[in-house]
């Protein structure tokens, strides 16, 4: 039984910067640099950029590319209105990949949803602020269990 839903760093639509597609084909390492810059809050880049880049480099480039294509084509505008469960919409306040406005758009379309915007975090909010992230999830889960 599903008791609730959580969206983290999402959007009804998630357009991808065309430069990322081009760079993934021609210069993946530069693409990873750009994606890290967009994914991490400035204060977290020194600590987390290298591990994140290594993780991206270990991934299958074609799979990563196809994942971004799927994000770019996605449109959940009509589907999200059918969600009728307790919902928590989370996002890092400094997320450049899926800016907070995209999370606000989700929340505006789910009646009674709760939002949680985490300070000092970007798109990788669960890595950047794990304690705050986990506390928000626990609080949400406890609200209906």
pLDDT digits (tens, 9 = 90+) for 47-63: 999 999 999 999 999 99
Residues 24 and 82 in one domain: no
Residue 110: partners with Cβ closer than 8 Å, 6 or more residues away: 80, 81, 83, 87, 89
Residues 92 and 111 in one domain: yes
C-beta pairs of 128-134 under 8 Å, 24+ apart in sequence: 128/40, 128/41, 128/44, 128/48, 128/92, 129/92, 133/90
Residues 66 and 85 in one domain: no
Kindly state the DSSP code that residue 10 receives in the 8-state scheme: -
Residues 41 and 60 in one domain: yes
Last-in-domain residue among 49, 73, 97 = 73
CATH, residue 130:
3.40.50.1820
CB 34 within 8 A of CB 23: yes
Q: List residues bridging with 39 in a β-sheet.
A: none
Last-in-domain residue among 73, 96, 118 = 73
Q: Please give the pLDDT value at position 145.
A: 66
Q: Please give the pLDDT value at position 1.
A: 86
Per the structure, the complete domain to which residue 88 belongs is given by: 5-13+76-142
CA atoms within 13 A on the CB side of 77: 4
Low-confidence stretches of the chain (pLDDT beneath 70): 145
- Report the number of distinct structural domains present in the chain: 2
Residues 58 and 101 in one domain: no
């Amino acid at each position: 039984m599903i008791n609730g839903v959580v969206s983290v760093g999402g959007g009804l639509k998630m357009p991808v910067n065309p430069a990322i597609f081009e760079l993934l084909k021609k210069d993946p390492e530069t693409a990873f640099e750009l994606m890290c810059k967009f994914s991490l809050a400035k204060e977290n880049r020194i600590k987390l950029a290298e591990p994140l880049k290594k993780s991206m480099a270990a991934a299958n480039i074609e799979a990563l590319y196809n994942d971004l294509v799927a994000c770019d084509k996605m449109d959940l505008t009509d589907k999200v209105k059918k969600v009728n469960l307790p919902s928590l919409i989370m996002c890092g306040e400094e997320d450049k990949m899926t800016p907070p406005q995209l999370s606000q758009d989700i929340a505006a379309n789910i009646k009674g949803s709760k939002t949680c915007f985490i300070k000092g975090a970007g798109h990788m909010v669960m890595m950047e602020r794990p304690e705050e992230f986990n506390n928000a999830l626990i609080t949400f889960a406890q609200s209906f269990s």
